[in-house]
Amino acid sequence: MWGDKRYHTLNYELRKEFGQKVMKLSLDGGFTCPNRDGTIGHRGCVFCGEEGSGEFAGSRTLSIEEQIREQKKLLSNKWKTGKYIAYFQSFTNTYSAYEDLRKKYYSALSQEEIVGLAIATRPDCLSEDVLDLLTELNEKTYIWIELGLQTIHERTAKFIRRGYSLETYDIAIEKLKNKNIRVVTHLILGLPGESKDEILESVKYVANTNTWGVKFHLLYIQKGTDLYEYYLKNPFPILGRDEYISLVADSLELLPKEMVVHRVTGDGKKELLFEPRWSLDKLRVLSGIDKELKRRNSYQGLKY
């Protein structure tokens, strides 16, 4: 239904929009996070490493222009493409002064072959002037905002130290929707203490928020994080590969067909990844999801 897939991939959506393969360039804008600078907390989310979920992003010691050049070079061995999305990935990418944000976003947009922006942030970091800036950018280029919800369950949100309520997410979604700005919601499958039913409750909730896209992340434990330290002292069940594949298939069935699926598994740096090691074989996970949907004769939206 979506090229060779049974779910609505970002690759399919971007090819439809731009007529060719479009790659994301992961950037570090040099930002911090209210969950790290003491505004909300000092240690960040429990699973977050020192690079603020930007383990594959460029180096913050380089300018935006230099990072883009470097990232293009890295990707050129793998993909021959002439169109890129500049992805502000590390930490909270709307958490700075208006002029700083404006300068960095426009710096990325001014580079050759950049056709859009993706900005990862928190729902509690969307002030009115930031929303105005995003609205301005949305009129000039292809843009989406990514929000790390991870779960709808308050108990788990407290454990992972998310630092904002579900209501804050709802308000942010509404504000961005009113400005016609695309939103992508992140969910983590396999958080400690969550049952399969609870995970799917989060998926159903997000399916009904009118979020443009969704990212499913596998919970992985990375060395150097507080989750790693917690796991060593309090081991909890980690999803097995087949279990995870089945859960992703269940989740895809619950989404509306028009929702763009940006990711169906997580990426951990090999040298930092502690568990689950099976996640390093990403191709096997992706083909496993395809096979499971085919086995079920299923597809995205079947149970929406």
DSSP output for 178-243: HTT-EEEEEEEET-TT--HHHHHHHHHHHHTTT-SEEEEEE--EETTSHHHHHHHHS------HHH
Angstrom distance (rounded) from CA 57 to CA 64: 11
Judge whether residue 55 has pLDDT over 70: no
As to burial, measured by CB atoms within 10 angstroms (0-12 exposed, 13-18 middle, 19+ buried), residue 42 is exposed
Domains in the chain, CATH or no CATH each: 10-296 (3.20.20.70)
Whether the predicted pLDDT of 166 surpasses 90 = yes
pTM of the model: 0.95
Tens digits of per-residue pLDDT, 61-92? Answer: 899 999 999 999 888 877 777 899 999 998 99
Average pLDDT over residues 232-238: 96
Name the most confidently modeled range: 26-35, 258-267, 268-277, 287-296. Answer: 287-296
Task: Name the DSSP letter for residue 91.
Answer: S
pLDDT at 266: 81
- Phi then psi for residue 191, to 5 deg, are -65, 145
- The candidate with the shortest Cα–Cα distance to 31, out of 122, 93, 82, 104, is 93
Tell me the pLDDT band of 54, cut-offs 50, 70 and 90: very low
Confidence of residue 51 (pLDDT cuts 50, 70, 90): low
Task: Please tell me the least confidently modeled range out of 57-61, 157-161, 174-178.
Answer: 57-61
Q: What is the mean pLDDT of residues 16-20?
A: 96
Cis peptide before 276 (omega within 30 of 0): yes
pLDDT of 45 reads 92
User: What pLDDT score was predicted for residue 24?
Assistant: 94
- Strand-strand pairing, 273-275 and 221-222: antiparallel
Residue 82 has what pLDDT?
84
**Span 220-229, average pLDDT:** 94
pLDDT score at 52: 43
Judge whether residue 119 has pLDDT over 50. Answer: yes
Q: How far apart (Å, rounded) are the C-alpha atoms in residues 17 and 245? A: 29
Q: What is the pLDDT of residue 49?
A: 76
Rounded to whole angstroms, the Cα distance separating 147 from 131 reads: 14
